[in-house]
Structure 1
Amino acid sequence: MDPIHITSEIGKMKTVILKRPGKEIENFTPRMMSRLLFDETPYLPIAQKEHDTFASVLKQYGVNVLYLEKMAKEALNHGGPQVKSAFLDRMLTESNYPSGVIHDALKEYLNSMDTQTMVNKIIAGVRKNELHIVYNDLASSVSDNPYPFYMDPMPNIYFTRDMSAFIGNGVSINHMTFAARKRESLFNELILNYHPMFEGQNIPVWRNRNHTYSHIEGGDEQVLSEHVIAIGISQRTTAKAIQEMAQKLFQKSSFNKVIAIQIPHNHAMMHLDTVFTMVNYDQFTMYPGILNQNDDINIYVLTPGKDGKIEYKHRTNLKQTLKDALHLSELDIIPTGNGDPIMAEREQWNDGSNTLTIAPGTVITYDRNYVSNRLLKEHGINVITVPSSELSRGRGGPRCMSCPVVRADI
């Protein structure tokens, strides 16, 4: 099988990339939370224990679990000193040190570590009190800025879904929206280019990270079938990015339909998969709050047109749009929190719709979303729950925490 093979959201999962939470999720203060896109400060030992349980469940179901941090180390070691130097230069440039005294000091500091320690340190962040920098001018050495980091931590990186998305036999390496997360996809680019699993495989890149104005994140990208993709127009994915990726997919892949779904642009519903996921051949979870008072939502169906152009159709009925695209006579949409206005909003905040399907009709969810979980079971879904008191503080669920690389066809 190809190193990348994703033709659905529900095919039996074979290989997945995770990132175990590390020092980065406790290496910030409440004053830094807004800057780093967090609402709370997680407790690392419990977060790690919960994540280990999540990984253990995947392994019990036969999934090959790979870890982003280990793959980055392996790619750097395989690539050699020049690749490591170039990677550090790019990471430092995107940390706002393209050159100069601080750039040189940080590069020397990071280069002095073994590769795995270096990768972990970049993710955890570099504090100012970790190294003494000798400045060559007064303006640089005298600073009123009390901010404690030279390089910010990356606490969101355990949500491996967002930095890249494997689609068909290719990948989108994502230009992410907020500064707090932009550097993360440098690891994905590194792994794709230099890890032995991918190197030399001529893997199609549907969209690279080198974009300035349009952005996309993996939580908005869902492969519904071998021909159909749903992408959220959200706080973190622009319509322009969707158009650009659709153009490439239509030209170079078997995908011939992109369903762009416009969801509210806010932190509570940052990605499509926080409000809508596929759990079986004809079953989906959905947070009812994305629909208007007439149960409508803005949908744009993109298909290949003449002369390489894209044709667009505007729709408003999500259920009928999905039935038409997937050639289904019936469709079961399961509402978050059983549609109760209080429970639905509570459980959506804790990712009640962010289900990870590991085989048709078998999903992993957070245990705290007991109303949604009970309803899924009533609709015939096999629900496997994992503990979530600390992982959920990052505003992401099991789908957010996983980046599938290979799934069986359905």
Structure 2
Amino acid sequence: MPDTVAPPRPESATFQVDTESMPLEQVLVHTPGHEMELVAPDNRLDLLFDDILFLGNARDEHLLMCTLFEKVVDAPGAVLQVSELLLDVFQQEDARADFIDRLCRVMPETNIQAVRHELKQLAPSELHSLALTGESPLPLRLPPLPNLMFTRDLAAVVHDRIVISHAATAARSRESIIMQVLLHHHRFFNDVKDRVITLPEGVTFEGGDLLMAAPDVLLIGHSERTSFGAIMAIAHQVFEHTPIEHVLAVDLPKRRSTMHLDTVFTFASPNECVAFPPLVDDPSYGYAVHLTEGSEPGQFITDMRPNLCDVLNDLIDRDLTFIPCGGPDRINQEREQWTDGANVFAVAPGVIVGYERNRRTFEELRNHGYRVVSAENFLSYYQDSTFTPGDEKLAIQLAGTELSRGRGGPRCMTLPLARTSIHDM
């Protein structure tokens, strides 16, 4: 199995994401741990899980994915682990105090306030356990955080800014606190802590709803997890602080199967998308509100567009190809969308990772010129050499037999902090 010891990482973070598919430089992940073993039949729905995962296999699959990223990036510190960063930052008393204070504010219905003083006496490892699993030596038990492996939803990087998520469900509210504490207190983020975009109270936003279609075009899903108020707040901030000129608010059915935009639509390369076909060909599905900056500060010009694909082709200076998730048959489309066939993660232009079980989606990728290989074969082939993207298009199959039962694909499990800028290619 891949070594779990992280390589040395750079001294400080850099935020830089201006498209979805430029070569990956650094990514934040969380390999599932003991918190996953605390999902039980009686609490699984409250914890947003449809099934119970076997931790051993889930960890092995996730660590294989991390090894794949390290090979592709081939640089120290390419893969950062939330758990390691959190234990590191909890060595600081002010970071532990901030975490506890935020916890008391966000979860007033619990009895955390009554043991506030005792929480501040916990050792860093004990507070770390409480943060991830909800377990502690105190008379206090919180729900575990099995969804933390879906790090995409913690935040989203837009150019050199990072937008902190506001979880839509109580089961994930502690994840946002963890991300805030890391960004505000970990020395790794010292140089970029002034680039954090914090959303107002009362709105909800999760990072799976945000996609960088082009350096000046931002897509945000209006889903069951992201409110329109959050989209407006993000638009205001990115118009002011980044080169974004167009924000498309993409309306999605408010149901679990389409909880985020990236469950139905992702980029495989600058001009190729893997899409759940109704988003492309059903006129009642996926209309977009086109937002541009008005003449006055905080003012928006809005334009209703009936089809996401049409407006993207209008705004982006290239022709987009939409590769159907699940192939031509509607039942297969729905089956493979349910198992995250459309949720692929681009590690470089035309080099993507997806779940092996979505075989009809991989057949479509093969029809569009991709060579399909397993993650194991890819790593074996490049064991003693460096992988250089650009020679051919690759669709890499991750077994994901256990991970896929968690209802999130490779894009859901990755939060890119930096990609090669399109201006450097």
- The answer to whether the aligner puts 1:72 opposite 2:86 as a matched pair is yes
Aligned with residue 186 of structure 1, among 153, 157, 177: 177
Aligned to 1:55: 66
Evaluate the alpha carbon distance shift between residue 126 and residue 116 of structure 1 in structure 2; reply closer, same or farther with a 3 A threshold: closer
SS in 1 for 2:336: helix
Evaluate the alpha carbon distance shift between residue 331 and residue 187 of structure 1 in structure 2; reply closer, same or farther with a 3 A threshold: same
Evaluate the alpha carbon distance shift between residue 49 and residue 34 of structure 1 in structure 2; reply closer, same or farther with a 3 A threshold: same
Query: Residues 69 and 120 of structure 1 are in contact (CA less than 8 Å); yes or no, is this contact kept in structure 2?
Result: no
Query: Residues 164 and 218 of structure 1 are in contact (CA less than 8 Å); yes or no, is this contact kept in structure 2?
Result: yes
Give the number of aligned pairs: 383
Query: Residues 183 and 193 of structure 2 are in contact (CA less than 8 Å); yes or no, is this contact kept in structure 1?
Result: no
Evaluate the alpha carbon distance shift between residue 350 and residue 99 of structure 1 in structure 2; reply closer, same or farther with a 3 A threshold: closer
SS in 2 for 1:383: strand
Aligned pairs (5 A) from 1:98-137? 100-105=113-118, 107=119, 111-113=121-123, 115-126=124-135, 131=138, 133=139
Aligned pairs (5 A) from 1:324-339? 324-328=314-318, 330-339=319-328
Give me the whole-angstrom Cα distance separating, in 2, the residues matched to 1:37 and 1:403: 20
Give me the whole-angstrom Cα distance separating, in 2, the residues matched to 1:202 and 1:162: 19
For structure 1, the residue ranges without an aligned partner over 5 or more in a row are: 134-148
Aligned with residue 245 of structure 2, among 253, 256, 263: 256
Aligned with residue 336 of structure 2, among 336, 347, 350: 347
Query: Residues 266 and 344 of structure 2 are in contact (CA less than 8 Å); yes or no, is this contact kept in structure 1?
Result: yes
Aligned with residue 243 of structure 1, among 232, 238, 242: 232
Aligned to 2:159: 168
Shifted more, 258-267 versus 288-297: the winner is: 288-297
Aligned with residue 370 of structure 1, among 359, 362, 372: 359
Give me the whole-angstrom Cα distance separating, in 2, the residues matched to 1:292 and 1:274: 17
- The answer to whether the aligner puts 1:384 opposite 2:399 as a matched pair is no
Listed one character per residue, the Cα deviations across residues 283-313 of structure 1 (whole Å, up to 9, x for unaligned) are 1111123467447531111111111211111
SS in 2 for 1:5: coil
SS in 2 for 1:82: helix
Evaluate the alpha carbon distance shift between residue 291 and residue 374 of structure 1 in structure 2; reply closer, same or farther with a 3 A threshold: closer
Give me the whole-angstrom Cα distance separating, in 1, the residues matched to 2:19 and 2:367: 24
Give me the whole-angstrom Cα distance separating, in 2, the residues matched to 1:84 and 1:22: 21
SS in 1 for 2:147: helix
Shift of 1:102: 4.2
Aligned with residue 297 of structure 1, among 286, 292, 297: 286
Give me the whole-angstrom Cα distance separating, in 2, the residues matched to 1:374 and 1:58: 23
Query: Residues 3 and 197 of structure 1 are in contact (CA less than 8 Å); yes or no, is this contact kept in structure 2?
Result: no
Aligned to 1:322: 312
TM-score between both structures, scaled by the size of structure 2: 0.85
Percent same amino acid among aligned pairs? Answer: 30
Shift of 1:8: 0.6
Give me the whole-angstrom Cα distance separating, in 2, the residues matched to 1:283 and 1:240: 30
Shift of 1:339: 3.1
Please tell me the residue identity of whatever aligns with 1:119: H
Give me the whole-angstrom Cα distance separating, in 2, the residues matched to 1:2 and 1:199: 8
Listed one character per residue, the Cα deviations across residues 154-195 of structure 1 (whole Å, up to 9, x for unaligned) are 110000000111111011111110000011011111111122
Aligned to 1:24: 35
Give me the whole-angstrom Cα distance separating, in 2, the residues matched to 1:88 and 1:339: 51
Q: What value does the CA root-mean-square deviation take over the aligned residues?
A: 2.0
Shift of 1:349: 0.7
For structure 2, the residue ranges without an aligned partner over 5 or more in a row are: 1-11, 371-393
- The answer to whether the aligner puts 1:361 opposite 2:350 as a matched pair is yes
Aligned with residue 393 of structure 1, among 405, 414, 417: 405
Aligned to 1:207: 198
TM-score between both structures, scaled by the size of structure 1: 0.88
